[in-house]
Amino acid sequence: MTAGESFPRLLLAEWTKLRSVSRWVVTLLAATVLTIGLSVLAASGNRTDVNQNTDLVSAPDGEPVSDSFYFVHQPVSGDLTLTVRVASLIPPQERSQVRMGGEQMTLLRNPDPFAGAAAGIMIKDGTRPGSSYSAVMLTGAHGVRMHTDFTDDRKGSASRGTRWLRLVRAGNTITGYESADGATWQRIGAATPANLPATAEVGLYVSSAPSIYVSRGGGTSSAGGRPTRATATFDSVVLTSAAQFRGEQVGVPAGLEKPEKVDSEGGGEYSASGNAFAVTGTGMVGPNPPDDDLVEGALIGVIAGIMALIGVGVLFATAEYRRAMIRTTFAATPRRGRVLAAKAIVLGLSAYVVSLVGVVAAFVLALPTLRSHGFTEPAFPAPSLTDGPVLRALLLTAGFMALVAVFGMSVGMLLRRSAIAITLTIVLVLMPVILGTVLPGTSPRWLMYTTLAGGLATERAKPPTITLAEPWAMIGPWAGIGVVAAYAALALGLAWWRLRRTDT
């Protein structure tokens, strides 16, 4: 290998080509400006009144949560031990299809361990919705769990049958145990609730998350909930300092918006016989954030930035063919694969830098506008650049934009016709977005898993959901960036194959 063929010099040569064409540099900068400008413009027209909902409940850390269940409890001071056998748990029967508001809607299967039906024991800072707690429970779908303050989830055994449960308080530490026979115990975990007073409410509880039904397609989406009820039987209740238990519905179950409806339209209840209890409960205890994503809302302009990067990427490949300079390039460096790799690296890094500047600036500038338009606490806690999910979204979104630019360059190298390559790449990005927005139900999910449009999932800091009109919200960010990386790798491979066959 001669000095002229060294890869660092080849990289420098491709970088010189890129920065020497002023319109390419301008278009790269335009990608940043378009990303920022469209994001800020879209934020100015995006509003919500979700915080006007008087039923919103906040956890001790300020996050929006659901805190509704039936509680058979008593106050206990100081250290304690509560042991109980959950003899049975009968979860609700749910219909897969219902009509709501005049339209057919489909049941949303929620894999979250906080969803579904649960029966267990709990210690809680009073009975105010949103107050600190720790609980050990048998669930209908996720086995035995220990939950604390709406976000901390500890996994126990996968048992769904009869189970002994134990909750121990020692100072501010709550430890959960389970047993198959009441003799041999396994530790689930220990937690320290944020605000647990010396005298706390302790007892049995049953919850049953509402059935959520969704309908999407035709550019719109809608969701609705119906309350459900679960029934559990408890026996062998042993509490260190026993007093009189009393039953109480905590919070307002979803679907029963008015508190006065709770007793008449499906609130919980209990009956006692000696040391045995039958408890029926409704409601959910766990995180309950809106599916709308503030980070995604601040990055709407990414699609405009991508259009500019596609143009630069394609022209970076086709310009040398149009001017018949490609033979000169290959005369200096006969190894085609090295030239292609150098072009991809130079373009990819340049596109990544301008994209990262664009998405970070868009987030910083659009966020205050969104906050002023109703996207505030408690439904929307303020995101920060240092938050893990936010940082991931910004870094991956910039990576998505850079990969699309490299894909466009590869298509240009493969087809060697600027207009055709630009049009084809734009269609491959935009057409799945349009189809995915129009198609009903969950069918667009597979479209996002198999097309470049799936890369838009990188914009979201929240988990996937099917309740939104945006089809890319159905998949996770790593799946989205993965499919785009696969497309870019495939296109580069085809371009390399074409280069080895002909220079024209």
Q: What is the pLDDT of residue 37?
A: 97
Q: What is the pLDDT of residue 121?
A: 98
Cis peptide before 378 (omega within 30 of 0): yes
Q: What is the pLDDT of residue 275?
A: 87
Q: What is the pLDDT of residue 2?
A: 47
Give the range among 107-116, 262-271, 291-300 with minimum mean pLDDT.
Answer: 262-271
Q: What is the pLDDT of residue 259?
A: 43
Give the confidence band of 333 by pLDDT, cuts at 50, 70, 90.
low
Handedness of CA 374, 379, 382, 383 (dihedral sign): negative
Q: What is the pLDDT of residue 482?
A: 98
Element (H, E) at 419: helix 418-438
Condensed to tens digits (0 to 9), the pLDDT of residues 210-269 reads 999 998 888 888 888 889 999 999 999 999 877 789 999 999 876 555 444 444 445 799
Give the range among 115-119, 322-326, 483-487 with minimum mean pLDDT.
Answer: 322-326
> Taking a C-beta distance cutoff of 8 angstroms, is the pair 38, 300 a contact?
yes
In order, the DSSP letters of 362-401 are HHHHHHHHHHHTT--TTTSPPP-TTSHHHHHHHHHHHHHH
Residue 425 has pLDDT above 90, yes or no: yes
- Could you give the C-alpha distances from 490 to 49, 389, 483, in angstroms and in order? 45, 29, 11
Closest C-alpha to 147, from 252, 21, 286? 286
Give the range among 67-81, 239-253, 319-333, 365-379 with minimum mean pLDDT.
Answer: 319-333
Q: What is the pLDDT of residue 392?
A: 98
Provide the Cα torsion 165, 155, 152, 256; round to 10°.
-70
d(CA 263, CA 256): 10
> Taking a C-beta distance cutoff of 8 angstroms, is the pair 136, 120 a contact?
yes
Closest C-alpha to 168, from 95, 107, 84? 84
Q: What is the largest CA-CA distance in the chain?
A: 94
Mean pLDDT of 351-373: 97
Q: What is the pLDDT of residue 229?
A: 94
**Three-class secondary structure assignment of 298-315:** CCCCHHHHHHHHHHHHHH
Condensed to tens digits (0 to 9), the pLDDT of residues 166-203 reads 999 999 999 999 999 999 999 999 999 999 999 999 99
Which SS3 state, helix, strand or coil, does residue 504 take?
A: coil
Give the confidence band of 448 by pLDDT, cuts at 50, 70, 90.
very high
Give the confidence band of 88 by pLDDT, cuts at 50, 70, 90.
very high
Most confident range (mean pLDDT) of 239-243, 254-258, 281-285, 335-339 is 281-285
Element (H, E) at 484: helix 477-501
Terminal C-alpha separation, the chain: 26
d(CA 17, CA 308): 18
Q: What is the pLDDT of residue 374?
A: 93
Element (H, E) at 294: helix 294-297
Condensed to tens digits (0 to 9), the pLDDT of residues 119-150 reads 999 999 999 999 999 999 999 999 999 999 99
Q: Domain ranges for the chain, please list them.
A: 3-48+292-501, 57-287
Mean pLDDT of 263-290: 86
pTM for this prediction:
0.86
Closest C-alpha to 280, from 70, 117, 456? 70
Q: What is the pLDDT of residue 263?
A: 45
Condensed to tens digits (0 to 9), the pLDDT of residues 427-445 reads 999 999 999 999 988 889 9
Q: What is the pLDDT of residue 324?
A: 61
Which SS3 state, helix, strand or coil, does residue 235 take?
A: strand
Q: What is the mean pLDDT of the chain?
A: 91
* Tokens of residue 338, six digits: 């090295």
Condensed to tens digits (0 to 9), the pLDDT of residues 180-190 reads 999 999 999 99
* Tokens of residue 381, six digits: 């806690």
* Tokens of residue 31, six digits: 């990608």
> Taking a C-beta distance cutoff of 8 angstroms, is the pair 204, 246 a contact?
no
Q: What is the pLDDT of residue 461?
A: 96
Handedness of CA 326, 329, 332, 334 (dihedral sign): negative
* 73 Cβ contact list (under 8 Å, min separation 6): 122, 124, 127, 201, 202, 203, 204, 205, 245, 246, 248
In words, the CATH class of domain 57-287 is mainly beta
> Taking a C-beta distance cutoff of 8 angstroms, is the pair 294, 460 a contact?
no
Give the range among 238-242, 274-278, 477-481 with minimum mean pLDDT.
Answer: 238-242
> Taking a C-beta distance cutoff of 8 angstroms, is the pair 36, 355 a contact?
no
d(CA 343, CA 7): 11
Which SS3 state, helix, strand or coil, does residue 278 take?
A: strand
Which SS3 state, helix, strand or coil, does residue 33 take?
A: helix
Q: What is the pLDDT of residue 260?
A: 44
> Taking a C-beta distance cutoff of 8 angstroms, is the pair 35, 208 a contact?
no
% residues pLDDT > 70 (the chain): 93
Q: What is the pLDDT of residue 331?
A: 63
Measured in degrees and rounded to the nearest 5, phi and psi for residue 125 equal -75, 80
Mean pLDDT of 37-59: 89
Closest C-alpha to 306, from 419, 418, 402? 402
Residue 288 has pLDDT above 50, yes or no: yes
d(CA 24, CA 43): 29
Mean pLDDT of 286-299: 94
